Amino acid sequence: HDLSSLQQEANKRKGFTADQTLNILQGLYESKLITYPRTGSRYIGDDVFAGVPALIGKLTRHQQFGKQAEYLSGKKLSKRSVNAKKVTDHHAILSTGEQPYQMSDDKQAVYDMVVGRMLEAFHEECVKEITKITVESGSVFVANGTVIQKAGWRAVFNEKDEDKKDEENPSLPKVKAGELLPVVNKALLEKQTKPKPLYNEASLLKALETSGKDIEDEELRYAMKDSGLGTPATRAAIIETLLNREYIVREKRNLVPTLKGLAVYDVVKDKKIAQAELTGQWEKRLEEIRSGASVMDFKAEITDYTRVITDELLLAGAGLSEKFS
């Protein structure tokens, strides 16, 4: 896990807010139960990997995952999460192997997510048999089937991956190519497409993380591919700020815009301050500076940008103030 993916999982599994998860992780870190949590990397280097077998060995007494830790002890571990080039300032969140003592239910839940994902990352691959049957009967019909032959990493939590549930198809009967099959039933179903669901904290965190993927400019899209909007350490604060300013509210697990939030959106949506491309532009310029471009030119651009957005917002804010006064 990195911070964002763990916040998303905690929201899906337990309904924890991003800020709540971050605070729990900070407590676990201060208790020396996990490594540094404010990381944007899901990888570790070879130096850290060298100590992973010992860490897994210390998890054999874990109530939920002890058997999986015991299974992995002494086995050759997968290195799919080992890549020093993809480690940023800090590596992925790991258990330190220290034994927890009398944790609250919330802390235990988040700690278990760290341990479970760590075991998944170094576990064997999941092996599937995927079958596709194409049937011609007036039109062409396709059926897909999946059978898990070896659970591998899926055995850790032993549950279906909700994000990939469409891939989980039942097994199909054995057939031969060219075989004639009887039509035993037919039905015509009418269905409608559904609108996109409201954001919850997990999906909003994911949207912030991947916000650059829809930018048309290829260079800007590339510049944002590893950044998105905000950082793993600041995205929870962004959501809390929107809540504190009453731009959005929580309704069960959903995040819903308020009238005030919609009014602000209507004012700023076409302004420079609301352009996701800006992050890409700045990331690109910073990369150019690393390659020797002028810092002073970039500072001048920032000054001009600040002047433009200030003028835009002051003008727009006058009308908004009247609306809510």
Domain boundaries, the chain: 3-121, 127-167, 201-324
- Asked if the domains at 3-121 and 201-324 fall in one CATH topology, the answer is no
Enzyme catalytic residues? 36
How many CB atoms within 10 Å of residue 149? 9
Residue 323's pLDDT is 61
- CATH fold of 3-121, please? Topoisomerase I; domain 4 (1.10.290)
Tokens matching residue 325 = 């006064």
Nearest to 13 by CA among 213, 198, 157: 157
Complete DSSP assignment for 120-161? HHTSPPPEEEEEEEEEEESEEEEEEEEEEEE-GGGGTTTS--
Nearest to 133 by CA among 173, 164, 180, 165: 173
Q: At what angle do helices 235-244 and 201-209 cross, to 10 degrees?
A: 120
pTM: 0.79
**Longest Cα–Cα distance in the chain:** 76
Query: CATH classification of 201-324 is 1.10.460.10, yes or no?
Result: yes
Complete DSSP assignment for 174-197? ---TT--------------PPPPP
Q: What is the C-alpha radius of gyration for the chain, rounded to an integer number of angstroms?
A: 25
Question: Mean pLDDT in runs of 10 for the chain (325 residues)?
Answer: 94 94 96 94 94 93 92 92 90 92 92 95 92 87 87 86 54 84 86 91 89 68 69 89 95 94 88 78 78 87 89 77 61
CA atoms within 13 A on the CB side of 37: 28
Strand, coil or helix: 212? helix
- Pairwise CA distance, residues 77 & 264, whole Å: 51
Residue 284's pLDDT is 75
